[in-house]
Amino acid sequence: MKAYERLLKYVKVHTTSDESSETIPTTKRQFDLANILVEEMKELGIEGVRVDDKCYVYGYIPATKGYETKPSIGLIAHMDTAPSASGKGVNPQVIENYNGEDVLLKGDNSVLSVEKFPNLKELKGRTLITTDGTTLLGADDKAGIAEILTVCEIILTENIPHGKVCIGFTPDEEVGRGADHFDVKGFGADFAYTIDGGIEGEISYENFNAAKAIVEIDGVLVHPGSAKNTMINALNVACEFNSMLPQTERPEHTENYEGFFYLESLNGDTAHATMKFLIRDHSSEKFLEKKDTLIHLEKILNEKYGEDTVKIDIKDQYKNMLEHIKPCLHLIENATEAMKTLGITPVIEPIRGGTDGATLSYNGLPCPNLGTGGFAFHGKSEHITVEGMDLCTNLIVEILKRYSK
């Protein structure tokens, strides 16, 4: 079976995750796909196939006889789709020999336009898969699952020598919890790749260090007519706090390796205000400096307005995986060499966000990310091509071949 045929099957299963849910997985419906994958994996001849009570799917292909000492490589993708758009009733449009021009999405008569997505021009001549405009596509990350299982089918049916290959499918990646309950030990891989990204040839192994800061401000509320030298307006203190941060270090003014302070929300009244900041930086030194800056502001404002006016609580969210990938740069070298063999141009860019691979890398499983061939994730403009998926599939096979040398 071709990878896109699997994709078209999986996107029919509604697997949207839910940020507001406290359950594991955040939505029960993710088990619907997990159970289908378990059956398919067994049919393919994958061993040790299981889905656990937290909706993580695992399995492995034992090493070819004589290749048992080769590194065991993990392949990981996620089953959920982003809550930012509906993932229910997905009805893809498959356009053969795509002409490189605007595409009418027939479900809501909207247009997937070349002006907005100039990458479409490069896809001319390919078989393009889009949404019908009423949902997202779910190529993020069902394309990753489809490619991984197609790789399994290829190495099992074509008798390609390989080390142990471990397969893992996670729930809840889109709500930042995909790696939380991943059984790294039971998975059994020495190294892994998440297959969860954009264009074929994309390989990422640097991401942000991330923290969130909650700033609570207690004001002093008195009648405004007699407020002189008494009132402390929490909202004004909040504005002052924000104005003391470097204005150029905001998301809207930064790119590439530039970090930022992002004021995500500000709520309150005179008596009390709450601000939520996201702090991001690739450099761990600059990341620490940013956190120190916030603590310094807390101190300065408390000296000005009185102790306990400002209280800040900073929590780390995830870290840059780079320092865990550096000792195993073969993961990057083997991938880029495999790309060259297949005529794919490597696209290496720092991720301005986090990935499950970052958390897994910190939990002892070095795990860069590879593209799936998809574009414009998390909304109705999402699209992918049959050829791009084939390239990504072949790339993974090629990487496994390299690790068996």
39 catalytic, yes or no?
A: no
Pick 46 or 143: Cβ nearer Zn ion: 143
CA gap 36, 161 in Å, rounded: 28
Which of 184, 144, 192, 155 lies closest to 62 in space, CA to CA?
155
Paired strand residues for 103: 112
User: Which is catalytic among the residues 80, 141, 147, 390?
Assistant: 80
Q: Which of residues 120-149 bind Zn ion (CB under 5 A)?
A: 140-141
Pick 298 or 382: Cβ nearer Zn ion: 382
CB of 355 to Zn ion, least distance (A): 8
CB of 174 to Zn ion, least distance (A): 6
Which of 305, 326, 51, 361 lies closest to 189 in space, CA to CA?
361
- Please give the backbone phi and psi of residue 49, each rounded to the nearest 5 degrees, phi first: -75, 130
CB atoms < 10 A from the CB of 120, how many?
24
Stretch that binds Zn ion, among 116-124, 188-196, 224-232, 361-369 (CB under 5 A): 188-196
Q: Which of residues 191-250 bind Zn ion (CB under 5 A)?
A: 196
Pick 140 or 200: Cβ nearer Zn ion: 140
Coil vs helix vs strand at 3: helix
x-marked contacts with Zn ion along 300-329 as a string, rule CB under 5 A: ------------------------------
Pick 273 or 358: Cβ nearer Zn ion: 358
173 catalytic, yes or no?
A: yes
Which of 85, 294, 50, 273 lies closest to 167 in space, CA to CA?
50
CB of 27 to Zn ion, least distance (A): 16
CB of 210 to Zn ion, least distance (A): 17
CB atoms < 10 A from the CB of 343, how many?
8
Residues 6 or more apart whose CB falls under 8 angstroms from that of 199 comprise 119, 347, 371, 373, 375, 388
User: Which is catalytic among the residues 140, 153, 173, 196?
Assistant: 173
Number of residues in contact with Zn ion, rule: CB under 5 A? 3
Query: Tokens at residue 91, please?
Result: 């009805």
Pick 57 or 238: Cβ nearer Zn ion: 57
CB atoms < 10 A from the CB of 282, how many?
19
Active site residues: 80, 173
Binding site for Zn ion (CB under 5 A): 140-141, 196
